[in-house]
Amino acid sequence: MTTETIVAGAATAPLSVEWDADHAVTELYREHYRPLVRLAALLVRDHATAEEVVQDAFVAMHGAWRRLRDPNKALSYLRQAVVNKARSVLRHRAVVEKHAPKALPDAPSAEHGAMNLLEREAVIRALRKLPTRQREAIVLRYYGDLSEAQIADAMGISKGAVKSHTSRGISALRSVLEQTT
């Protein structure tokens, strides 16, 4: 007793109902493995996983061959198994992605933090050595982020004096910091 399986409008070799599971699965594998992998790859969007899905479907069909009511519908069984296993993979991925730990933002190393602290301390020590007006002008400009006009208003001096104090203060800071490094 033989029957013909139709795949996408093309007839394939007849499949013997009398075949044992090994022979039948081998023939189905030889003829339909690649199209089933393409089907699974379209569903799971990953070729390696698609191959696993198809392999699992073939293994399951081999184990259930004796329980298969109509061996002539083995290809249909395989297709349905591939679709079901692909759905299972996608559900599993969704659960894994949902419960995956959130990536921590990149944090600077402890060494980087220590170096920044040392640099800040050196700048603060150098600022303390400056005359009051120069220190005020630099702090308001670079730490307070104020414009020259705002600094002039805050200090009660002209914009020209702000420029002068800032320039002299930066020169003094540079020389003090160069000496410490």
Residue 52 belongs to domain with CATH number: 1.10.1740
The secondary structure of residue 130, as a DSSP letter, is S
Least confidently predicted of 14-23, 120-129, 149-158? 14-23
Residue 93 and residue 24 in one domain: yes
Q: Where are the beta strands (DSSP E) in the chain?
A: 2-3, 6-7, 10-11, 15-16
Is the predicted pLDDT of residue 38 greater than 70, yes or no? yes
The torsion angles phi and psi of 69, rounded to 5 degrees, stand at: -65, -45
What are the tens digits of pLDDT across the range 64-111? Answer: 888 888 888 889 999 999 999 999 999 999 999 999 888 877 777 788
Mean pLDDT of the chain: 86
Count of alpha carbons within 13 angstroms of residue 137, beta-carbon side = 26
pTM above 0.75, yes or no: no
Q: What is the extent of the structural domain holding 149?
A: 115-180
Residue 95 and residue 37 in one domain: yes
Instruction: Give the CATH number for residue 145.
Output: 1.10.10.10
For residue 69, is it within any domain?
yes
For residue 62, is it within any domain?
yes
pLDDT computed for residue 1 by the predictor: 36
154, 140 contact by CB (below 8 A) = yes
Q: How confident is the model at residue 118 (pLDDT cuts 50, 70, 90)?
A: confident
Q: Where are the beta strands (DSSP E) in 99-181?
A: none
